[in-house]
Structure 1
Amino acid sequence: MTSDAHEGLRRAIAECFPSAAWQRRIVHLERNACSLLGSKRRRKAAGKIMQAVFAESEPASVRAAYHAATDAIGGFSGEAAELLGEAEADALAYLDFPAEHRRRIRTNNAQERTNREIKRRTRAAQVLPSMEPMIRPVGAVMAEADEDWSVRRCMATMDALETPLPPEPPIDDETRSRAERLVLVAMETAGIGPKAA
């Protein structure tokens, strides 16, 4: 399940889907970390750093870059680094799935798009006298979403979930060094060098 870090949502997911993995939405984690930084320059740098981390595709590279990003952002704010450290398992949960699923697991854009369409269609009616008239527009949106996912074959690789992933290689010095360079480049792109941080 992918959602925001809202405690009520997390509790409901754990109760209703006890064996489901939970993925924290990356964009919200980025916003939460950036909100703890004082200056606009630091917020911009932290955003660039986090975007660079999640642009990586190999799990070991993502994990190494996440650690390097946490350290770099820790130079801006200990509170932001603490948030990122605590959120690591939830933010990187998508890496435990096959590569072809990771992009869809990392965000809940499809769910949000569907919710926006439901709001748009039910808002047009303004007042619905009972549940019956509401079922039609909501059911139509859900049917369209189902058809869209079926046609695009978004879930065609479900068989991949039954095959265990090979063990993830440990983070070696080369991967760690590459991750640190990635973070430095992101900081420079944002106009903050390592000494200016």
Structure 2
Amino acid sequence: MTQLQFTLDMEVLKDSLLNSNMDSVYKSALVLILNEFMEKERDDYLQAYPYERTDDRRDYRNGYYERELTLKVGKIKLKVPRTRNGEFSTSVFEKYSRCEQALVLSMLEMVINGVSTRKVTHIVEQLCGEAVSKSFVSSLTQKLDPIVNDWSKRPLNTVYYPFIFVDAMYIKVREHNRVVSKAVYIAKALTEKNKREIIGLSVDHNESFESWSQFFKQLKSRGLQSPKLVISDAHLGLQKSIQQEFIGTSWQRCNVHFKRNIIEKLPKKDSTEIRLMIKRVFEAVTIEDIRTFKEELMTKFSDNPKYAKALEILDEGFEDTIQYMNHPESIRPHIRSTNSLERLNQEVRRRERVIRIFPNTQSAFRLIGATLMHYQETTYDKKKSLTK
């Protein structure tokens, strides 16, 4: 076997040490080691030492070519051995390509976790000693496109989702040299085994009946069956699209938003009693009790004009807000509001604030999709079912 031999230029290394330029020392040592390692690989491939005559020889040496390699200490230049038939290939670059892939994945991870492009370029420069442009980081994120697209189009017909939560949030996007507002539609669901799953994402111009209907059609085209309950806020276009697209499905108005709408219409003073009775209504354990407590409240305060607007809201939206009472008590805390979806939206918003304005709609879909995938994997997939 070929022995590794190093011919060190002691004057260069001594000068580097005396001047405390340790990076130069590391680079010099790496160049010597890697060049010698590649030389050994060529000897093993040829099955012959330099100038050796043997019948086992597979090919002949054919000089070297230079190639750069970027490592943690910076960029180094290596002499890569060649053979005449060109079939020899060193493993050095293949091995270090894994490091480069790990670096690329780390950069993507930083972007998904809300690190700005400028900070990513600075971190990479500190790690590798080489600067990368912001455009390079941006182009790198485009590698997420096929992954996010496959995730967003995956089939939904293998699992039944009895409960679906939907909501929209707004972001800023550049479009034809203008900054416009766009709606991001997100759908989250609970399986029959009470496991959380993010099932839908779309970016559209605004929140409307047509946009919501199109969003639901996309989910159904992927195999989504009509759920038992859809939980959302009280957007009129959303309500209408649920009725049209999911025949036989009940709509659950977000309990938290509904109570907030009622409380906002109450006077700040002299309303302690009615506030306590409203709390009593929504803490009822049975559907009979919740209706009874509501009627008692309406009867007691119906003649007081100070509470007229609040009571009107309560009466009008009451039935849509207690649909969760038709389901087992153990699951009710998880389906009576969109709080869990709003927490997910906050996670998306945390990353979106770093960017502030997306360069285009596709970049928004890409980053938000990658964020949702990451959240699903790190949060929902690692949690146990909500109920046993």
The answer on whether the counterparts of 1:34 and 1:46 sit within 8 Å (CA) in structure 2 is no
Q: Which residue matches 1:55?
A: 283
Among candidates 287, 294, 319, match of residue 66 of structure 1: 294
* Match of residue 354 from structure 2: 124
Task: Quickly say closer, same or farther: Cα 1:144–1:103, change in 2 above 3 A.
Answer: farther
The amino acid across from 2:346 in the alignment is R
- The answer for the alignment partner of 1:96 in structure 2 is 326
Please say if 1:87 is aligned against 2:317: yes
Aligned to 2:266: 37
Unaligned stretches of 5+ residues in structure 2: 1-229
One-letter code aligned to 1:6 = H
Identify which of structures 1 and 2 has the higher relative contact order when contacts are C-alpha pairs closer than 8 Å and 6+ apart.
1
**Could you tell me which residue of structure 2 aligns to residue 187 of structure 1?**
none
| Structural RMSD (CA) | 2.5
In structure 2, distance between residues paired with 1:72 and 1:48: 13
Tell me: CA distance 1:15–1:66, structure 2 relative to 1, closer, same or farther (3 Å). Answer: same
TM score, norm. by length of structure 2 = 0.36
1:155 positional shift: 5.5
Shift of 1:107: 0.8
1:136 Cα deviation after fit: 4.2
- CA deviation vs aligned residue, 1:106-153 (integer Å, no higher than 9, x gap): 110011111121122122122322344334432233224434234333
Equivalent in the alignment of 1:110: 340
Question: In terms of Rg, which structure is larger?
Answer: 2
Give the secondary structure class of the aligned counterpart of 1:2. Answer: strand
2:372 corresponds to 1:146: no
Q: Once structures 1 and 2 are overlaid, which stretch shifts more, 122-131 or 70-79?
A: 70-79
Please report how far the alpha carbon of residue 103 of structure 1 lies from its aligned counterpart in structure 2 after TM superposition.
Answer: 0.8
Aligned match of 1:18 in 233, 247, 255? 247
Which consecutive unaligned segments of at least 5 residues does structure 1 have? Answer: 158-197
Return closer, same or farther for 1:132/1:32 CA change in 2, 3 Å cut-off: closer
The answer for the alignment partner of 1:173 in structure 2 is none
Check the 8 A contact 2:330/2:387 in 1, yes or no.
no
- What letter matches 2:297 in structure 1? A
Hey, what does 2:274 align to over in structure 1?
46
Distance 1:102 1:144 in 2: 27
**Does the aligned pair in 2 maintain the 1:30–1:47 contact within 8 Å?**
no
Structure 1 position 61, deviation (Å): 2.2
Q: Which amino acid aligns with 2:382?
A: V
| Amino-acid identity (%) | 28
> One-letter code of the match for 1:121?
R
Higher helix share: 1
Q: CA deviation at 1:36?
A: 3.4
Q: CA deviation at 1:38?
A: 4.0
d(CA) in 1 for partners of 2:291, 2:303: 19
Under a length normalisation based on structure 1, what TM-score does the superposition of the two structures give? 0.66
Paired residues of 2:331 and 2:387 also in contact (CA < 8 A): no
**Shift in Å, 1:25:** 1.8
Judging changes above 3 Å, is the alpha-carbon distance between structure 1 residues 34 and 72 closer, same or farther for their aligned structure 2 residues? farther
Change beyond 3 A, Cα 1:137–1:47:
farther
Does the C-alpha gap of structure 1 residues 115 and 39 become closer, same or farther in structure 2, counting only changes over 3 Å?
A: closer
**Judging changes above 3 Å, is the alpha-carbon distance between structure 1 residues 133 and 3 closer, same or farther for their aligned structure 2 residues?**
same
